[in-house]
Chain A
Amino acid sequence: MAVEFTLNGEWRDFAGDPRTPLLDVLRDGCRMTGTKSVCRAGFCGACTVMVGGEPVPSCQRPIGMLEGAEIVTIEGIAPPEELNPVQRAFLEHDVVQCGMCFPGMVITLTDFLRRNAAPTRSGIKEALSGNMCRCTGYERIIDAVMSIRETETPAAEAVSR
């Protein structure tokens, strides 16, 4: 029996093995490769997506458990041709290097800012405990997020439903 869910606001279904991780449904089934497959064990955070308003590692969510779920991926986190405040801050601070971790970083931090209007550096670091980066040494990511706090409050609709 097919599983039905919404993906970036659109109804989708999946008829394959219900144990298939959401990550593979997105990447192989939907060919949406913005969600990165890196550790496949729930440690690195590169495959983070929003499920029902919560950031989760999509490698750890079998599709069969997601009947009716609202899923938002990096492709849907901001309207096409637009950037959300986290993405914009990453560009403005020249944060990106290889880039593989950034889709997950954007999802996690967008959600974090929605819940924490005035974060501290240590609070941001704590929020990133499930998002690893091998290139940047993190601090510039923190700088970028702190700059958002200083310049704007990200609207709740930054995470589109």
Chain B
Amino acid sequence: MNMKVDPRTAVMDMPRRDARDKVTGRTRFMVDMAGSDVLRAVVVRAGSGAAKVLRIDTSAAARMRGVRGIATAADAPQLHGVGVMDQPLFVRDRIRYPGEPICAIAADTLEQARAAAAVVVVETEEMPACLTMAEALAPGAPLLHPDWKSYECIVDGVARGGNIAWEGKVVRGDVDAAFARPDVSVVESCFRVGRQSHFPFEPRGAVASYEDGRFHVITSTQVPWTVRAVTARVMGVHASQVRVTVPPVGGAFGLKFDASIEPMAAILAKKTGRTVSLVNSREEETQTCLCRENADIWIRSAITPEGKIAGREAVVLMDAGAYGGEQIFLSTMTAHTLGAGYRLESVRMSSRVVYTNTPPNGAFRSCNGAYNSFALERHTDEICEKIGMDPMAFRKLNVLSDGDPGTTGQIFEGDVLGPMLDRMEALRERTGTREHRAGDRLYGLATTVGTWNIFVGPSSATINLNADGSVTLITASVEIGSGSITQGVPQIVAANLGIHPSKVIVKGADTDAAGYDMGTGGGRTVVSMGAAATAACEVVRDKLLDTASELLQTPPADLVLRNGRVEIRDRPGSGTTIETVIARAEQTKGPISGSGAFTAPQSAKAMPGCAAGHFFDAMDLPVFIVHEAEVAVDPDTGETEVLAYRVVQDVGRAINPRAVRGQIQGAVIQGIGYGIHEAVTIGADGGIEQTGFETYHMPLAQDAVKVEIDLYEGAPSCGPMGTKGIAEVAIMNGGATMACAIANATGKRVQQLPLTAPKVLALTCGIEPVLDHPHISRRWSDNILR
């Protein structure tokens, strides 16, 4: 009875249901939930980096006025982590980074909690530190985790050891033979990127209570089920003891893809018997931000006389900071980003996650894709320069098309990137170029390509039909601002049930109400939650049509759901209203509800034996972008103005084109920020030097440019109605495109991001040192653990 729903019925520029409350100030975010009856808590943090802990004494703090409870390492016995369980909630015998949590204190007021924090005694003895990856990889370097072997690891046999938290590698074809060919040109490049800080307007935090023997954590997160699991794990209680609910989230961008201080709030709630609000101050949020990691990249390619890529090898060093975190998972994405986009006859890549005595890094929109695309596209342009080939012609010749193998041997479906490059040329034709606006400044234009993977994976949804003709959608997806759960998924549900999306009520994420979901991020919600909701729709639709069939004396196969009615096919206006059928079903069979689930179809397969240490070997749902920028660089100041920015994005099917364009606009400006404005620096103690908005140049309105956008539809997708995730990948080539355009403008070899004005000035003046990465061996096999 699964009649195909016309996907065009889902397409509309539906406005956001949450916008009215957001512009009138009525929306209550997590940070708005602490009234006078709620205790306020603070985290006591380590003041310095690598140190041995001699004594932590909270007894004086406990006696301070208004203090109701203190959470310490004793309350959180278990380690947690992503892939490798290497992180304690609170410092135990050693401090690994400045800002690491020592304990958390709840008091009647924030001032009292802060006063108590000031009298916690932490006696330490300084230890040798590794502040950079080069230091951490040096022979005889002090180990951050001397007990690394004892850590629980989610898979056996992964290459890790010493300060290398994780190593992923991929080898396909005979790379040595490719480089040994007498006719190839060899091009070698080194790149380095700094960290990028998310700066969500709402910091991380939680409001926790202990109710009927269970923890209830209200938090600003992308991953309620992860928060549930981590909170339970660190306390050593069963996950069913924890309920997580999520109000509207005030910005996330990947920062909230892991649990952070939620378990501390939960512990304090149980200890005090009160509701506790624990929220990072802006300074804490900035200095402990789980940034997009800094990285060092070496890449070398063997190019044939025809301009094809015979062999490519690369080493990527990803700075985890003091704990493995998301970088362990993200090491997999090197193969699918740095190794993506182009046809490679042979390839080998090593992706190493390195511990340093700095704040842990995390996930940030497109994650390592944002710098791997920078490295890949700058390397591509360096290849073109060396062999004297036009960069656009080289890309058109080499981008993956239908049937080509990717880095892990996965066979790509559909000819997407090539036509997208054509569409970019057409877009440029339509918009014209803005070289005339450069004036006396240096003008540069660059076009880049990028590939990302939609993290499909498990989601579940339940749909209840209400007698008033509305439906209630219950999921653990979160509205983080992207619109996926206020626009995308309700539109899919509505199209499946022949109703208007305004009739789809979306229940806020609650792990007590909804089934498991991997989280809102990675571009996955419209795809995975949309598919789970579609499956739930099929269940309720069958029930609806079954009852309607009796009412209308028509076989279910001849009935359709349309315009809020159950109609006889080809007879618009016939049949009856959906309310009538729902009411009838309540009487005869009971209320109609249904659940559906989805996970990665696992139809994409890698070549066996290609990849090791990977969380997945093949991409379930690749997604592509082509970006183009025109810049003007002031040679006297190094300042870059973005004159124009154009995007051709593979969106599958845009079911809300206006919202898609809004996401692309926002993501591109974040990407430009990554490219030319936003700099995180690490101080002599290993800490992040920025403290807030005053020391971090997030793009302002005057830095923004209106992005010209062409939505490329129709590429293959396993997403419902042919959708793909659109908000994640849209940031990916901001850095790459800025770097290539600035290199073209200045004629200089751009090796680093961000390209802030002083950096660009140093480049144009010829005083920027050449980056050579002596800590990465030119013999690739030296860069893997054995």
Binding site for B on A (CB under 8 A): 27-28, 31-41, 43-44, 46, 73-75, 78, 83, 87, 90-92, 94-103, 106, 124-126, 128-129, 131-142
B680-701 interface (Cβ within 8 A of A):
692-694, 698-701
B residues less than 8 Å from A96 (CB atoms): 16, 18-19, 22-23
- Contact, CB under 8 Å: A98 / B201: yes
Residue of A nearest to B669 (CB): A137
B21-46 interface (Cβ within 8 A of A):
21-29, 31-32, 35-36
Residue of A nearest to B14 (CB): A94
- Contact, CB under 8 Å: B665 / A91: no
A residues less than 8 Å from B480 (CB atoms): 98
- Contact, CB under 8 Å: A35 / B658: no
Smallest distance from the beta carbon of B783 to chain A beta carbons, Å? 36
B residues less than 8 Å from A90 (CB atoms): 19, 23
Residue of B nearest to A131 (CB): B701
Is B666 located at the chain interface by the 8 A CB criterion? yes
CB < 8 Å neighbour of B16 from A28, A78, A94: A94
**Between A and B, how many residue pairs show CB distances below 8 Å?**
162
A125-B702, A129-B702 known; A99 vs B23 contact (CB < 8 Å):
yes
CB < 8 Å neighbour of A34 from B25, B658, B667: B25
- Contact, CB under 8 Å: A135 / B481: yes
- Contact, CB under 8 Å: A99 / B705: no
Smallest distance from the beta carbon of A154 to chain B beta carbons, Å? 15
| 17 residue pairs bridging A and B, Cβ less than 8 Å apart | A33-B32, A34-B25, A39-B692, A41-B693, A94-B16, A96-B19, A97-B662, A99-B21, A99-B248, A100-B200, A100-B201, A126-B702, A128-B702, A134-B200, A135-B666, A139-B704, A141-B701
In the bound complex, CA of A35 to CA of B31 (Å): 11
A residues less than 8 Å from B35 (CB atoms): 31
In the bound complex, CA of A102 to CA of B27 (Å): 11
CB < 8 Å neighbour of A94 from B31, B199, B659: B659
- Contact, CB under 8 Å: A100 / B25: no
Best-surrounded residue of B24, B701, B702, B706 (most CB of chain A within 10 A)? B701
A residues less than 8 Å from B668 (CB atoms): 137
B residues less than 8 Å from A44 (CB atoms): 201, 693
**Which one of B249-257, B411-419, B712-720 is at the A interface?**
B249-257
In the bound complex, CA of A37 to CA of B285 (Å): 13
B277-324 interface (Cβ within 8 A of A):
281-282
B residues less than 8 Å from A41 (CB atoms): 282, 692-694
Is B64 located at the chain interface by the 8 A CB criterion? no
Smallest distance from the beta carbon of B220 to chain A beta carbons, Å? 10
Residue of B nearest to A73 (CB): B25
Is B202 located at the chain interface by the 8 A CB criterion? yes
Smallest distance from the beta carbon of A17 to chain B beta carbons, Å? 9
A residues less than 8 Å from B13 (CB atoms): 94
B residues less than 8 Å from A83 (CB atoms): 20, 23-24
B residues less than 8 Å from A125 (CB atoms): 701-702, 704
Smallest distance from the beta carbon of B584 to chain A beta carbons, Å? 37
A124-B701, A137-B707 known; A103 vs B25 contact (CB < 8 Å):
yes
Is B273 located at the chain interface by the 8 A CB criterion? no
A residues less than 8 Å from B482 (CB atoms): 97
Best-surrounded residue of B26, B668, B693 (most CB of chain A within 10 A)? B693
Smallest distance from the beta carbon of A4 to chain B beta carbons, Å? 21
Smallest distance from the beta carbon of B690 to chain A beta carbons, Å? 12
In the bound complex, CA of A95 to CA of B20 (Å): 11
Smallest distance from the beta carbon of B291 to chain A beta carbons, Å? 14
